[in-house]
Amino acid sequence: MSETKYEYPQVKYTRLTFPPAQMQQRAQEFYAWMDTRRTVREFLPDPIPEGVLEHILLAASTAPSGAHKQPWSFCVVTNPDLKRQIREAAEKEEYESYNGRMPQDWLDDLAPLGTDWRKPFLETAPALIVVFRRAYEEVNGRKKNNYYVNESVGLACGFLLAAIHHAGLGALTHTPSPMNFLSSLLNRPENERPFLLIPVGYVPENCLVPDLKRKTLDDICFIYK
């Protein structure tokens, strides 16, 4: 039998498992916790304690990625002047989008959320996490494509939002469109493309969110026995 050669040495997997009742409890508790996550559009200006965002980003970067390329960069913007420039550029694009660029169906779907072109949270939130996807890497002067970049970065952003929630902070998944202005304002290299703009911070005590209903299990799950 030929031996398989691995580039990485093999290490023992840290295996965690639980008896069925405990497993059920853990699954239910995790769902109940995740179900309390909401997108918020208001933030307190209070700074985030030192080290918190770093661990949130490390948690995001534990996400699986195509061929383990981890094709993401996270820029953390706390500089007030830069936040103002990002707000101004985002509002300029969003004004155009809400006033002619978005088709009526899209505007109709957004109407119940009450969003518009104004984005004050881009300045009030103490930190903006700007996520970039890395389309390729430059290796020895040669362009090497990354694989499943959107899927990988999407997963990392899911982990990121869960980590933010777990830390007791709030976030908004924001997608000003188009958002090329983020590449120039943050002076990002040619291989990076903006993916999401995520204001993060403490949530005001009386913050309101739309009373959305999530799909039921029957709506989303199809079992093949």
Residues that bind ligand FMN (CB under 6 A): 38-39, 41, 113, 115, 172-175, 209, 212
CB of 201 to ligand FMN, least distance (A): 15
CB of 110 to ligand FMN, least distance (A): 8
Q: Closest CB to ligand FMN among 39 and 124?
A: 39
Alpha helices in 65-130 (DSSP H): 80-96, 104-110, 121-124
| The dihedral formed by the CA atoms of 19, 24, 30 and 33, expressed in degrees to the nearest 10 | -140
Closest alpha carbon to 40 in 92, 114, 90: 114
Q: Closest CB to ligand FMN among 39 and 85?
A: 39
* Straight-line distance from the first to the last Cα atom of the chain, in angstroms, rounded to the nearest whole number: 36
Q: Closest CB to ligand FMN among 45 and 112?
A: 112
CB of 160 to ligand FMN, least distance (A): 12
Contact 163, 59 (CB under 8 A): yes
Q: Closest CB to ligand FMN among 47 and 210?
A: 210
Contact 130, 194 (CB under 8 A): yes
Residue number, nearest CB to ligand FMN: 39
CB of 25 to ligand FMN, least distance (A): 24
Distance, C-alpha 55 to centroid of its chain: 14
Q: Closest CB to ligand FMN among 127 and 164?
A: 164
CB of 146 to ligand FMN, least distance (A): 20
Return the number of other C-beta atoms located less than 10 Å from residue 212's C-beta.
Answer: 9
